[in-house]
Amino acid sequence: MGNVIASTADVESSRGRVHVSAGLRSPEATEYSAGMPPQMVEALRAEVGMSELANPGTVEELHSRCRDIQANTFEGAKIMLNKGLSNHFQVTHTINMNSAGPSGYRFGATYVGTKQYGPNEAFPVLLGEIDPMGNLNANVIHQLTSRLRCKFASQFQDSKLVATQLTGDYRGRDYTVSLTMGNPGILTGSGVIVCQYLQSVTNRLALGSELAYQYGANLPGRQVAVLSAVGRYAVGDSVWSCTLGPAGFHLSYYQKASDQLQIGVEVETNLRQQESTATVAYQVDLPKADLVFRGSLDSNWHISGVLEKRLQPLPFSLAISGRMNHLKNSFRLGCGLMIG
């Protein structure tokens, strides 16, 4: 079950066999560094740093690198206006016009608090989006402590609460524990609980597990539980990720070929439905041209591409989206303009 808002990963201080506080030198380091060549001292320090284990992030982020470079297409025309009212508050006006989905106007607001745990992160974060019919999506992200982060998401349709999700992530020195509750119904006796654990085994390998538990009157035996194993192996600019469970498996590979090119391959298999989908995606960044292109091709012969171009010196961004399938003889085109 995917989160409504993807959590941002922040790498915390890691645990190793040798730990030296910032600004202090241990007696062992002082003893062995005295009289040693500077090159040997630097080599020893590098070896100690490599032996330390970093926080592996969350299980939800295992396949994020491969997913981020895939083309997220849209259809029709889209106009988005972003207006910053202050350093902490921003509003968004969006107009969608297409024949395949709901069209109309949506108003969004974002508030970022003053509590900082990093140079690029401030909490709490409040996000909301509403349309003229009263359909609302609301999200709250807050960092309670330096290691504990909570996220709450809700969705209202036709003046009724249709979906809620509460997630808590605890990031240790070399592990992360996450607990998610989806649509908990106290009166109806139904809901979903997902518990995830990811541990750094080495600097390159992280292993963990995921337990999903669903209960309700409509389920056989009124409850069902699924246990899955997860893993990630990262070396250099390459990342291998895997999720393996009784219902299927999810494999992904990400490679940063250069500063301009990123490549990803993903395979998702559902053993119960006897279905499998493979996707190849890539992203091309041209900073000098202020241009980003994302393209993807899957085994169902869907060809997708999104081109984003910054129109300097104006604060405009142009997005052109295309998606086609030769077997189904279908083609969808979208054009968007983002201001601000």
What gap in Å lies between CA 57 and CA 65, rounded to an integer? 12
Number of Cβ atoms within 10 Å of the Cβ of 266:
21
The Cα-based distances of 166 to 183, 184, 198, 301 in angstroms read 9, 9, 19, 36
What gap in Å lies between CA 161 and CA 70, rounded to an integer? 31
What pLDDT was estimated at residue 41? 63
What pLDDT was estimated at residue 333? 95
In a domain, 75, yes or no: yes
In a domain, 16, yes or no: no
What pLDDT was estimated at residue 4? 38
pTM, 2 dp: 0.82
In a domain, 51, yes or no: no
In a domain, 30, yes or no: no
* Rounded (5°) CA angle 276-67-65: 125
Positions of the chain with pLDDT under 70: 1-36, 39-41, 43-51
In a domain, 4, yes or no: no
CATH, residue 100: 2.40.160.10
Give CA 174 to chain center in angstroms.
19
Do residues 283 and 292 make contact, with C-beta atoms less than 8 angstroms apart? yes
What pLDDT was estimated at residue 230? 98
**Number of domains comprising the chain:** 1
pLDDT tens digits, residue range 228-285?
999 999 999 999 999 999 999 999 999 999 999 999 999 999 999 999 999 999 999 9
Range of the domain at 208: 59-337
Q: Please tell me whether residue 45 adopts helix, strand or coil conformation.
A: helix
pLDDT tens digits, residue range 132-147?
999 999 999 999 999 9
Among residues 211, 291, 218, 234, the alpha carbon closest in space to that of 54 is found at: 234
What pLDDT was estimated at residue 188? 79
Q: Please tell me whether residue 332 adopts helix, strand or coil conformation.
A: strand
